[in-house]
Structures are given as C-alpha cells and as structure tokens.
Amino acid sequence: IQLTQSPPSLSASIGDRVIITCRASQDISRYLAWYQQKPGKAPEVLIYGASTLQSGVPSRFSGSGSGTDFTLTINSLQPEDFATFYCHQLLGYPYTFGQGTKVEIK
Amino acid sequence: QVQLQESGPGLVKPSQTLSLTCTVSGGSISTADYYWNWVRQHPEKGLEWIGYIFYSGNTYHNPSLKSRATISIDTSKNQFSLDLTSVTFADTAVYYCTRERILEWSNHFDIWGQGAPVIVSS
C-alpha cells in the first residue's frame, strides 16, 4: 500500500494553520497514524486511528479522513512544531510510510 | 514508564551480518497488548518498516529485504533482536526499535528507541 504525502515541504509562519495530506493507494479504512520527527530524534506519534489524538499531544494537532484520503492539521503553528511529519498505514503488511512533509519557518 | 534502547555495532563490513538488540525496560515484553518492531531510516530519507515480532515468537518481515532479515525475541531478558545478513552500503541507516500498540480499530507505534546509527563500510 503506497502512501503519497503532499506537499513534500512547506514554509509557514508562527500562528499559521498548516494542512498536510496523505493519500493511500487503496482503502485503509482508518488504519492511519501521523508522526512528527525532529532532527536527530526518533519519530513521535501524534495521531492514530486517523483522528485520535495521542495522550500528551497538544490539541492544535488534529487528523481527519478515512478510506484513501487523510489530512493532518496544525492550528496556530508554534516554534516547536517545525519538523518533518510522516503518515503511516497499519492496515496491511508490509507497513508503509509516506515520504514525509518538512515544515520550515518562513 | 516503558523505554526502548537499541544496542549493537555501529560499523559493519559489506557482506557481513548486522546484529542489533532492543532492550525493553519499565515493562514486560511478554504481553499480548503489543508487537515489537524494527524500522530504519536511510540518511536524509524516509522511514522503512523492517518487521515485527510478537511475544509468542510469531514474526513477519518486509519482503523488500529478500529474507535477509530475522527478528527474534528473548523474553527472559526482555529483549528482541534484528539480524540482517549480507549487508551492503544500501543498509547504512539509523535503525529504530519500536513498540506497536494493538487496538481493535487501529494500531500505532507509540514508543520508539532513540535509534542506532549503522554504517556499512569496508
């Protein structure tokens, strides 16, 4: 199952709303997670089940979608949010990840 | 809280076997609530899933690795391991061990190790 993220990168300012999309090559229901990875660090889960916020993750992060089309939204971008974001499907093996979206400071 | 820590050589010669171990602390590996996975990340690239193991020993790995990967578990030591045979320069990457939380409606990787950088070089 291939996952296509867009855009590959974006520049945004503090306080902006950011939307990242992830499209699956086949129906994956809601078996999708989103991760944030900062340079030199391991990824951390933000969202699972397409829309469930992981405990401890700020509420400015939200996820939506089902089937083949999913979005990760960051409301009011904060300085600590600049990172690379990955979507991840866990419906079928082999598990696959999107290619990543790098969010940079404008 | 549960923590995962990778260990193993940071340098491996081409054609040899890469061996990494993940030690789980703060909780038992012998639980039906989780799968134990390996993921790697090539330099400046995205994430690639390698495979998983369950505490019972059930395992599955990514076919893209052409049967070079073996994942094993030692419940007495609370560890699981990855062996990758016949390595090439293309296996140079940061290797992560992760815990997959099993839910009826959606799993996810909720805890990750810090990552073990491995360089394949002669």
Q: What is the pLDDT of residues A33-80, one digit of tens each?
A: 999 999 999 999 999 999 999 999 999 999 999 999 999 999 999 999
Is residue A53 within 8 Å of residue A62, measured between CB atoms?
Answer: yes
Burial of B105 (0-12, 13-18, 19+ CB in 10 A): exposed
Quote the pLDDT of residue B44: 87
Q: Kindly tell me if the per-residue pLDDT of B82 is higher than 90.
A: yes
Chain A nearest CA to B70, separation (Å) = 15
What does the radius of gyration of chain B's CA atoms come to, in whole angstroms? 14
Is residue B120 within 8 Å of residue B89, measured between CB atoms?
Answer: yes
CA distance B23 to B98: 11
CA distance A75 to B74: 44
By residue count, chain A amounts to 106
Residues 55-84 of chain A with CB under 8 A from chain B are none
Residues 29-68 of chain B with CB under 8 A from chain A are 37, 46-49, 60, 62-64
| pLDDT 10s digits, B1-20 | 999 999 999 999 999 999 99
Residues 3-62 of chain A with CB under 8 A from chain B are 30-33, 35, 41-45, 48-50, 52, 54
Could you tell me if B107 lies within 8 Å of chain A, comparing CB atoms?
Answer: yes
